[in-house]
Amino acid sequence: MAHVQSLFLLVIALAMATPAAAQWLKLPTPGIPRLADGKPNLAAPAPRTADGKPDFSGLWENQGGDRLYNNIAADLQPGDVAPWADALYRQRRLEFGKDSMETLCLPLGPAYLTTRYREQRIVQTPTLIVFAFDDMMHREIFMDGRALEQDPNPTWMGYSVGRWEGDTLVVESNGYSDRSWLDFDGHPHTEELRITERYTRRDFGHIDVHVTMVDPKAYFKPITFSMPMQYRADTELLEFICDNNKSRERISKTPAGQAVDVPVATLARYVGAYDIVDASNRKTVATVTLSGSALLLDYGGKGAEVLIPLSSTKFSWSGTIVDFSTPAGGAVSILLHYAESSEGGPRR
């Protein structure tokens, strides 16, 4: 268990690293709307370009939490995933991300659409829009009227073209290498993957993003979700370089984790709402539910995610260790072990 726990902590450190810009000396962003107290006015009207189109330029980050980043198919039914894709996903999930894009220091590809651990600067021109990520990757969206390539050379970031539908930017993409994963837990895709994104800047500080992923060889219905983005004011984009090849060597020598069977009666003992408190005294409610023989965790109302049992008291939450305990004569408690710290609390 010590080896598995070490692997958990290493992988989750890679996946949940603090954005570099959070460490930047605060510098007021020039030319943005501000309130009377000098704070950015994120509710101000969205800016427009000289030709009247919404201007998406600026520094942004996803605000959707970890649920879809951990499991892009969280809202699908089991039969919606092709058997081969589901089997590969389950294998990767039990290996706790040892071959994930983060662990191998590779581009995230489609997972940039759901991760909240990569900031992105949007640079907009009339014929080209560029997304520049803090890990030094970039993505080009061609706005010059060209069509998607019929048989593109597969790449990590795919091939993208965009158009305007009123004030909404519509982006269509294909040509993704099947080496990339759709999420941290390991849902695969084929080179048939096609993605459509719709971007609407509803005010200065917020972009509504609606995404549809279609891959008929891997998924029997489209994957659809929304991912809000928020403007990052008074800071700058700093590079975040992944350099952990030596760590990867250590991971490759660690046996893959193995799930265990835990009686439903035991799992049922953990059901309930828990008051979580972290080292900064920040409070969050975590709700544990039972669906059939699966235990699920909803952290902060972001949506339920499956916990993989490692023992009768320890579980994996996409690499984070979740530990339940029952002190003598006391209420059941939960403890979440991250790479940087731990947090937890009792059941209500």
Task: Find the CATH number of the domain harbouring 200.
Answer: 2.40.128.20
Which residue from 195, 60, 204 is spatially nearest to 123, judged by alpha carbons? 60
Which residue from 318, 266, 280, 328 is spatially nearest to 297, judged by alpha carbons? 318
Q: What does the pLDDT read at residue 341? A: 86
Q: What does the pLDDT read at residue 242? A: 79
Residue 288 lies in a domain: yes
Q: Are 46 and 54 in contact, with CB atoms under 8 Å apart?
A: yes
Point out which residues pair with 59 in neighbouring strands.
121
Are 210 and 270 within one domain? no
User: Which of 231, 249, 273 marks a domain boundary?
Assistant: 231
Whole domain around residue 192: which residue ranges?
Answer: 2-231
Residue 76 lies in a domain: yes
Q: Is 61 helix (H, G, I), strand (E, B) or coil?
A: strand
User: Which of 231, 249, 282 marks a domain boundary?
Assistant: 231
Q: What does the pLDDT read at residue 255? A: 47
The residues of the chain scoring below 70 in pLDDT are: 1-26, 244-259
Q: What does the pLDDT read at residue 74? A: 93
Are 111 and 201 within one domain? yes
C-alpha span between 7 and 12 (Å, rounded)? 8
C-alpha span between 343 and 179 (Å, rounded)? 35
Residue 250 lies in a domain: no
Q: Which residues contact 67 (CB under 8 A, 6 or more apart)?
A: 74, 302, 303, 305
pTM listed for this prediction: 0.80
